[in-house]
Structure 1
Amino acid sequence: MSSRVRFGANYTPTAGWFHHWLDFDLDDVRADLDSIAALGLDHVRVFPLWPLFQPNRTLIRPRAVEQLVALADAAAERGLDVGVDGLQGHLSSFDFQPSWTLTWHRRNIFTDPDVLSGQEEYLRTLASALADRPNFIGMTVGNEVNQFSDGPHPDPDRITAEQAGAWLTRMLAACEKGAPGRFHTHAEYDATWYQDGHPFTPAHAARLGAATAVHSWVFNGTAQRHGRDGAATRHHAAYLIELSKAWALDPLRPVWLQEVGAPAPHIPAEDAAGFTEATVEAALDCADLWGITWWCSHDVDRSLADFPELEYSLGLLTNDRVVKPAGRTIARITERWRDREHRPRARTTALVLDSDAETAADRSACAPGGAFFEAWARLAAAGARPAVVLRELSHDAGHLSARGITEVITVDDVGRGADAVSVRDPTADRETAAPQSPGQ
């Protein structure tokens, strides 16, 4: 893996948001990409809408695929690489599923044989169309598709952890078949790390695909509990990176901070630049970081209705492409790191996570308010740089050595102080109670 960390943005089109695929205008896209490239970023993550690209199980619209390739070529002209999310899936509180999986055609999107074959062909087709583009990074299976598998989704397609793993394996194989050797990943929202019993597990996230993708949102209870300036809030992205590394079998596995943003009112507009700088600098203090992809490039046009309020103002640029304070901060950071190797000091002290490696049955301890989360946050607030290691690996000299860990401590060593646990509801951007683990 290159020692140069990547900086990018999740591309939110200024004209029509992701509905721009209905009225695709390459000139608008080029202008958007010009404004992103001007920040010094090197990649974008883009989002085809699954129902528009595959409106029937056996129809993948050629014109839609051509438009995706045209977007990638326009990005290349501006020095931007492109990662593509396939199954959209879930975006900014809205669900996008094709009609052939709903109502009279309702089928479990993770287990139905016909749906699986349709998904495979769709992912393979998109990957194949971009396989010869030098600026194509790879596919992400979909955006936070795990939210369809469990509560708090109002109508989930229930599956087991074994079925989730089988689905991910099969979808990643379809991406690899379409574009061999590319950087194919999958991405879940933080129920994977925080919600007891969730079928998509930390082991799936940290062991399948080319990298571990984490999505860091402090409106999940972190900012509410610790405040806008709290160490837990400003180190939340770094915490997820370090937490994810505990489950990786490869101690040098890359981690992609694939989504992170400054959501108002939890992070007020006047604090967005400071939060952005603190969050990025904390993430850069983590080893094996592939890249940081900010959510999102441009604000959502307020003429579009029914978004949660915080979704309108997450951009690095306004909807008319004016750079915001957070955007200026990102531009300054990217300039500072342009030719700089990313080789942070080893985190020599690791906090032991007392969790089963496969099922992670007590994940709520890792959530905001959970005993493990709060212990890690107290260490960070005191100026420590804690890594995370699973209990079963905490005496593995080879594993510890590979990660540069020379000391392990427990939650009891730090002290306990948890009283509540929450996980993010991605469908409404609100917090909902999660079951507390025994002893909390």
Structure 2
Amino acid sequence: MLSSAPPSGTPRFGANYTPSQGWFHHWLDFDIDAVRTDLDAIAALGLDHIRVFPIWPYFQPNRTLIRPRAVEQLVALADAAAERGLDVNVDGLQGHLSSFDFLPAWTQTWHRRNIFSDPDVVSGQAEYLRTLAAALADRPNFIGMTIGNEINQFSAGPHPDPDRVTQEQAESWLRTVLAACEQGAPGKLHLHAEYDAAWYQDDQPFTPAQAARLGAVTAVHSWVFNGTAQRHGRTGAATRAHAAYMIELSKAWADDPRRPVWLQEVGAPAPLIPAEHAADFTESTIEAALDCQDVWGVTWWCSHDVSRDLADFPELEYSLGLLTNDGAVKPAGAAISRIVEEWRGRTYEPAVRTTAVVVDDAMSRRSECGPGGAVFEAFARLVADGVRPTTVLASRAADTEHLAARGIGEVVLPGDVG
């Protein structure tokens, strides 16, 4: 199986792998047979890839100790996935998962150091990412590395103890760790992924330009609990098209008009999306996303529910799986399986979007792109009226060459959308 596919081919469909036994703590008691059982259930849905999550402090408990056994277990997981026709993307720096932070002791308390700017920490991170990438480089089912899961949440509020950096420092860090992945596994699909604060939060040092210009593809993580579903409801156009909106918003910032975009995380969070409506939300979200050009693929969050035996998760985290904790297919999983079958062998080339909403270039105006903001609401109104909009930066709104390259024939200001 190829590690990647061009956006003009059939889109990729996958799941973020959440182990059914022990959640991500399974690395502490790694059981390859349990992993194989999980992967069998994922493959049975027809999916072609998984995104996996080594826990950073479990793999690198000391700055100069990357546990060989942990790396071997990661490779074993990747090989088990290959046996089931599944490609693998590996998130390196976990980092943050489902409301829990996982940072090694050598960055905290008595050893408190900024994880983005301290030279020793960054050097340790680079060696860790290089090591994981190199261990998998010769595996044909290895897609590549993602730097970490929404690691930008550590860089600003609302995190309770942020490692604050400037935009310039954030970009320098991204370039350094992406280069380490490339050194470990040359030519693979290496990328970084932020949660939506990079697109919507005015003081976030990780920026839309970084997301849309650094790395092999742009990753977007679409969660409607960010105020979208609260404001627009379960069936609102903004809710059903939120993932598509983020994909199209990323295109405003991309230098390459055909840069691939990976919808790397999206899910149906209860109670905003009640369980009985999860399948409908799944279908409408994916349908809207695949009506955007250049989508590399869709990776649903997540494969398995979190076990109720585990304490202290936010309530919604227990029910996001395509499969129950014991492997039974849920309605959202059945919906994904139907979609995969419908798309099998189809050529992917949606129509060009000819109407673009103007986005202010200023980082201090990013909140206009979030729920309730002028750009966000204008886009949602156009969708509700049957328009297929995209976005364009204000600095490019009169650039005829740029507009022509993207097929944009009409540029509208947010305030002009009634």
- Unpaired runs of 5+ in structure 2? 1-5
Q: Aligned to 1:64, which of 61, 70, 76?
A: 70
Deviations 1:37-77 (A, max 9, x none): 00000000000000000000000000000000000000000
Output the amino acid matched with 1:289: V
> Scaled by the length of structure 2, what TM-score is found?
0.98
SS of aligned partner of 2:231: helix
The alpha carbon displacement at 1:182 in A equals 0.4
Q: Aligned to 2:375, which of 330, 354, 372?
A: 372
Which residue number in structure 1 is paired with residue 309 of structure 2? 303
Distance of 1:252 and 1:277 partners within structure 2: 25
Distance of 2:360 and 2:168 partners within structure 1: 22
Distance of 1:147 and 1:368 partners within structure 2: 18
In the TM superposition, what are the counterparts of 1:13-162 in structure 2 within 5 Å? 13-162=19-168
Contact 2:374 2:415 in 1 (8 A): no
In the TM superposition, what are the counterparts of 1:170-185 in structure 2 within 5 Å? 170-185=176-191
Output the amino acid matched with 2:174: L
* RMSD (Å), alpha carbons: 0.7
Identity level (%): 76
Q: Aligned to 1:405, which of 405, 408, 412?
A: 408
Output the amino acid matched with 1:243: L
Which residue number in structure 2 is paired with residue 392 of structure 1? 395
The alpha carbon displacement at 1:408 in A equals 1.1
Which residue number in structure 1 is paired with residue 234 of structure 2? 228
Q: Aligned to 2:327, which of 314, 321, 324?
A: 321
The alpha carbon displacement at 1:409 in A equals 1.2
Distance of 2:235 and 2:261 partners within structure 1: 25
Distance of 2:374 and 2:390 partners within structure 1: 16
Deviations 1:306-353 (A, max 9, x none): 000000000000000000000000000000111001100000111111
Which residue number in structure 1 is paired with residue 346 of structure 2? 340
Distance of 1:296 and 1:412 partners within structure 2: 37
Which residue number in structure 2 is paired with residue 164 of structure 1? 170
- Write out the 4+ residue segments of structure 1 that deviate beyond 3 Å after TM superposition: none
Distance of 1:222 and 1:167 partners within structure 2: 31
Instruction: Judge which range, 26-35 or 401-410, deviates more.
Output: 401-410
The alpha carbon displacement at 1:195 in A equals 0.4
Contact 2:15 2:50 in 1 (8 A): yes
The alpha carbon displacement at 1:278 in A equals 0.3
- Unpaired runs of 5+ in structure 1? 416-440
Which residue number in structure 2 is paired with residue 246 of structure 1? 252
Output the amino acid matched with 1:405: I
Contact 2:303 2:321 in 1 (8 A): yes
Which residue number in structure 1 is paired with residue 3 of structure 2? none
Deviations 1:59-102 (A, max 9, x none): 00000000000000000000000000000000000000000000
Distance of 2:150 and 2:368 partners within structure 1: 22
Output the amino acid matched with 2:18: T
Q: Aligned to 2:355, which of 321, 325, 349?
A: 349
> Scaled by the length of structure 1, what TM-score is found?
0.93
Matched, 1:284 2:287: no
SS of aligned partner of 2:388: coil
SS of aligned partner of 1:306: coil
SS of aligned partner of 2:411: strand
Output the amino acid matched with 2:151: V
Output the amino acid matched with 1:122: Y
The alpha carbon displacement at 1:412 in A equals 2.0
Which residue number in structure 2 is paired with residue 423 of structure 1? none
Distance of 1:126 and 1:96 partners within structure 2: 18
Contact 2:59 2:67 in 1 (8 A): yes
Q: How many residues are aligned here?
A: 412
Which residue number in structure 2 is paired with residue 414 of structure 1? 417
